[in-house]
Amino acid sequence: MSAPPSPIDPLRRRLAAALAAGGAAGALPGWAASSSRKRRSPLGVALIGLGGYSRDLLAPALQATRHCRLTGIVTGTPAKAEEWQRRYRIPDRNVYDYDGFARIADNPDIDVVYVVLPNHLHKRFTVEAAAAGKHVWCEKPMAMDAAEAQEMIDACRRNRVQLTIGYRLQHEPNTRAWRELAKTRPFGRLLRVKADAGFNGFRNNPGDAWRLDPARGGGAMYDMGVYSLNAARYTTGREPLAVTARQEIQRPEIFRGVDETMRFQLEFPEGVVADCVTSFGMNINLLRAECEDGWYQLEPFQTYDGIKGEASDGRRFDASLGPRPAMQALQMDEDALAILEGTPPRVPGEEGLRDMRVLDAIFASARADRKRVEIAAG
């Protein structure tokens, strides 16, 4: 008698269908060449940083992927390491602390390091992983500023490894269908974009302390604002020329030195304007495009599941990957295939760098009391 199907088999089938429909990766300019070394499938992935996102989403998603698997962890907490080893059968040789991370270069079980750390540590461990000959997947925002992002790209190019940024939405089917409208323009010329991302109820929990620390990349703009910013860019299909921004703080007892809410307006070519809001004090989750002959929107547009939308002509965005963490599984499978096949990743480091240039300008405008700041071209 054959064994009953695994609970994750249906998810794997959906992911396989999504991969077949969308291809392994969308070619984007400026991709750094992949390592010439032969890679086996599945690729071994080490998660560095075992907080809630790794624990609740990435690690479970890796159990549903076809082309990669969880083979290592990097953590500064021994108790966490023991728990993860028991749950995922990770051998002692594949467990690292931060100080001994460089030893990962000698481990053939690990092909990719996924950096899931507070923002100020992204550059350090991306550069170190690249020097160790490991491909890098790095969570957003890519870095603290554009200069750091460029250093990360240069390190990965120098060591001939891929650098991919964890913009999970760019792998999600409704978002991919949405992005196509920037090319086909079925509603005529795009006029205005609205991109709002935020949540209410932020608490100063110990695990969230870094989100309130400016030195570690805290604040709403770094955390949730990248969703609004990146969405405005892929909705227009263009790069912004200038920005005007202001920050708001309603709870100064919590938000000291970081933004609770950021409002920013991006100016794009052809007179297109994107009005964006991001916040730790409001439940907002809307992406809308206003055009000459109609409109289309996603609401919600940046949740872990349930992304959906509609348009003025009756069309709907309602493709589904199933329950979480299917989006992260699809993301990592596509990124693994890019490494295995030697093709450009869907979201290379250059995409993160483009956002960092805009982030730099947003912060500059907010510091200068809503001064219009032109965005450096790349």
- Asked if residues 25 and 338 have their Cβ atoms less than 8 Å apart, the reply is yes
Q: Are residues 137 and 249 in the same domain?
A: no
Residue 248 has φ and ψ, to the nearest 5°, of -130, 140
Task: Please report whether residue 2 resides in a domain.
Answer: no
- 238 burial type by CB count under 10 A (0-12 exposed, 13-18 middle, 19+ buried): middle
Q: pLDDT by residue (tens digit) across 13-38?
A: 555 555 554 443 333 333 334 443 45
Q: Are residues 226 and 243 in the same domain?
A: yes
Per-residue pLDDT at 371 exceeds 60: yes
Q: pLDDT by residue (tens digit) across 214-226?
A: 999 999 999 999 9
Cα–Cα distance measured from residue 269 to residue 375, given in angstroms and rounded to the nearest whole number: 12
Task: Please report whether residue 163 resides in a domain.
Answer: yes
pLDDT of residue 9: 46
Task: Please report whether residue 3 resides in a domain.
Answer: no
- Asked if residues 327 and 15 have their Cβ atoms less than 8 Å apart, the reply is no
Cα–Cα distance measured from residue 200 to residue 195, given in angstroms and rounded to the nearest whole number: 17
Task: Please report whether residue 16 resides in a domain.
Answer: yes
Cα–Cα distance measured from residue 8 to residue 65, given in angstroms and rounded to the nearest whole number: 9
The pLDDT > 90 percentage for the chain reads 83
pLDDT of residue 38: 52
Q: pLDDT by residue (tens digit) across 130-175?
A: 999 999 999 999 999 999 999 999 999 999 999 999 999 999 999 9
Decide the pairing of beta strands 95-96 and 68-74: parallel
Per-residue pLDDT at 376 exceeds 50: yes
Residue 362 has φ and ψ, to the nearest 5°, of -60, -50
Q: Are residues 305 and 339 in the same domain?
A: no
Cα–Cα distance measured from residue 82 to residue 87, given in angstroms and rounded to the nearest whole number: 9
3-class DSSP state of 67: coil
- Asked if residues 28 and 344 have their Cβ atoms less than 8 Å apart, the reply is yes
Mean residue pLDDT across the chain: 90
Token code pair at residue 159:
């060591």
Q: Total domain count for the chain?
A: 2
Query: Which residues on neighbouring strands pair with residue 291, listed in sequence order?
Result: 190, 294
Radius of gyration of the chain from Cα atoms?
Answer: 20
Q: Are residues 107 and 203 in the same domain?
A: no
Q: Alpha helices, DSSP H only, in the chain? A: 9-22, 52-53, 59-62, 78-88, 122-131, 146-158, 173-184, 220, 226-236, 326-341, 349-367
Q: Are residues 179 and 165 in the same domain?
A: no
Task: Please report whether residue 104 resides in a domain.
Answer: yes
Q: Which long-range contacts link 248-256 to residues 24+ away (Cβ below 8 Å)?
A: 250/281, 251/281, 254/202, 254/204, 254/212, 255/212, 255/219, 255/280, 256/212
Task: Please report whether residue 150 resides in a domain.
Answer: yes
Q: pLDDT by residue (tens digit) across 288-327?
A: 999 999 999 999 999 999 999 999 999 999 999 988 899 9
Q: Which of 59-63, 203-207, 276-280 has the lowest mean pLDDT?
A: 203-207
Q: Alpha helices, DSSP H only, in 198-341? A: 220, 226-236, 326-341
Q: Are residues 282 and 311 in the same domain?
A: yes
3-class DSSP state of 40: coil
- The CATH number of whichever domain residue 364 belongs to comes to 3.30.360.10
Q: Are residues 58 and 157 in the same domain?
A: yes
pLDDT of residue 324: 87
Q: pLDDT by residue (tens digit) across 329-364?
A: 999 999 999 999 999 999 999 999 999 999 999 999
- 208 burial type by CB count under 10 A (0-12 exposed, 13-18 middle, 19+ buried): middle
Task: Please report whether residue 85 resides in a domain.
Answer: yes
Q: Are residues 54 and 165 in the same domain?
A: yes
Cα–Cα distance measured from residue 249 to residue 259, given in angstroms and rounded to the nearest whole number: 6
Per-residue pLDDT at 39 exceeds 70: no
Q: Are residues 148 and 15 in the same domain?
A: yes
Q: pLDDT by residue (tens digit) across 97-120?
A: 999 999 999 999 999 999 999 999
- Asked if residues 317 and 309 have their Cβ atoms less than 8 Å apart, the reply is yes
- The CATH number of whichever domain residue 100 belongs to comes to 3.40.50.720
Q: Are residues 21 and 88 in the same domain?
A: yes
Distance of CA 269 to the CA centre of its chain: 25
Confidence class of residue 201 from pLDDT cuts 50, 70 and 90?
Answer: confident
pLDDT of residue 323: 85
Token code pair at residue 275:
């009005």
Q: Are residues 110 and 219 in the same domain?
A: no
pLDDT of residue 40: 79
Q: pLDDT by residue (tens digit) across 46-80?
A: 999 999 999 999 999 999 999 999 999 999 999 99
Tally of helices (H runs) and strands (E runs) in the chain = 11, 15
Cα–Cα distance measured from residue 47 to residue 114, given in angstroms and rounded to the nearest whole number: 5
The residue with greater pLDDT, 70 or 209, is 70
pLDDT of residue 15: 54
Nearest-5° Cα angle at 209, 208 to 210: 95
Residue 206 domain boundaries:
173-320+356-374
pLDDT of residue 238: 97
Q: Are residues 185 and 165 in the same domain?
A: no
Cα–Cα distance measured from residue 178 to residue 185, given in angstroms and rounded to the nearest whole number: 11
Task: Please report whether residue 4 resides in a domain.
Answer: no
